[in-house]
C-alpha cells in the first residue's frame, strides 16, 4: 500500500507492506503490542504483563486465527489479527502500531488487511461482518475504525472479563467503557 502523509510543510510517501506474521517477528511484535496495550491501560494490575513476556505472547496469540505484520523499509512497525467467531463474524483484534510510525496510514493498512481477509472468507462461507471491541478512551482507535468504515453498534458500561467477579469497591472505582464496532460485508 502506498501511503501519503501530510507532514508540516512537506509531504512524504511511505510504502507500507503487509505480510503474514512469522515466528522471527516475535521480538518486534511483542514490543509493539506491549507498548500499544500499555497506552490503553491506565494503571491496573494488567500492567504486570509488562514483566511477563510469556504471558504477553500467550495473550497476543490466544484465540487468533490470522496474524499480520506491517513493514516499512523492512522493519516491522505494526500488527493486527483476525479471529473467526462462531456467529459468522470475524473479529479484528490486537491492532497496534509502533509509536514512531504513527499517522502514516499503517493502522489503515492493517485494518484493510483484515477487511480484505474477511471479504475473501465471505465469498466462500457464511461470514457476514467484521466486528471489534475496544476499551480505549483515546480518540485515535475510534477515528481509525470509523475511517475504515466501521460503525459503533453499542457501548457497554462496566465491561468486565467474562468469568471474573469483581468486588463492590472495584465495580465502583474501576470503570471501563467498551465500544463495539461493526462493518457489514453483505
Ligand X SMILES: CC(C)(COP(=O)(O)OP(=O)(O)OC[C@H]1O[C@@H](n2cnc3c(N)ncnc32)[C@H](O)[C@@H]1OP(=O)(O)O)[C@@H](O)C(=O)NCCC(=O)NCCS
Report the interface residues with ligand X, using CB under 6 A: 36, 39-40, 95-97, 102-108, 134, 136, 139-141, 143-144, 147
Q: Which residue, 58 or 147, is less far from ligand X as judged by CB?
A: 147
Find the shortest distance in angstroms from Cβ 108 to ligand X. 4
Q: How far is the CB of 150 from ligand X (least distance, A)?
A: 11
* All three cell numbers of 176: 471501563
Quote the CA–CA distance of 36 and 30 in Å, as a whole number. 10
Compute φ and ψ for 148, nearest 5 degrees: -80, -5
Smallest gap from Cβ 71 to ligand X, in A, equals 13
Nearer to ligand X, 121 or 132 (CB): 132
Query: Whole-number minimum distance, CB 93 to ligand X, in Å?
Result: 8
Q: Which residue has its beta carbon closest to ligand X? A: 107
DSSP states along 74-115: TEEEEEEEEEE-TTSEEEEEEEEE-GGGTTSSHHHHHHHHHH
Whichever of 65 and 143 has its CB closer to ligand X, that residue is 143
d(CA 27, CA 75): 12
8 vs 168 by CB, closer to ligand X: 8
Q: Cβ distance 106 to 72 under 8 Å?
A: yes
Amino acid at each position: 500500500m502506498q501511503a501519503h502523509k501530510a507532514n508540516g510543510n512537506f509531504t512524504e510517501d511511505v510504502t507500507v507492506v503487509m505480510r503474514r506474521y512469522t515466528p522471527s517477528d516475535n521480538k518486534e511484535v511483542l514490543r509493539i503490542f506491549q507498548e500499544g496495550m500499555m497506552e490503553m491501560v491506565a494503571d491496573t494490575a494488567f500492567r504486570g504483563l509488562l514483566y511477563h513476556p510469556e504471558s504477553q505472547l500467550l495473550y497476543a496469540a490466544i484465540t487468533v486465527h490470522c496474524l499480520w505484520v506491517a513493514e516499512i523499509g523492512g522493519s516491522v512497525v505494526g500488527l493486527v489479527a483476525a479471529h473467526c467467531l462462531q456467529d459468522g463474524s470475524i473479529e479484528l483484534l490486537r491492532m497496534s502500531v509502533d509509536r514512531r510510525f504513527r499517522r502514516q496510514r499503517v493502522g489503515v493498512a492493517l485494518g484493510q488487511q483484515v477487511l480484505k481477509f474477511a471479504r475473501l472468507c465471505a465469498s466462500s462461507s457464511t461470514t457476514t461482518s467484521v466486528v471489534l471491541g475496544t476499551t480505549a478512551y483515546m480518540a485515535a482507535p475510534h477515528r481509525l475504525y470509523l475511517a475504515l468504515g466501521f460503525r459503533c453498534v453499542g457501548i457497554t458500561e462496566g465491561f468486565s472479563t467474562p468469568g471474573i467477579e469483581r468486588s463492590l469497591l472495584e465495580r465502583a472505582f474501576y470503570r471501563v467503557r467498551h465500544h463495539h464496532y461493526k462493518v457489514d460485508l453483505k
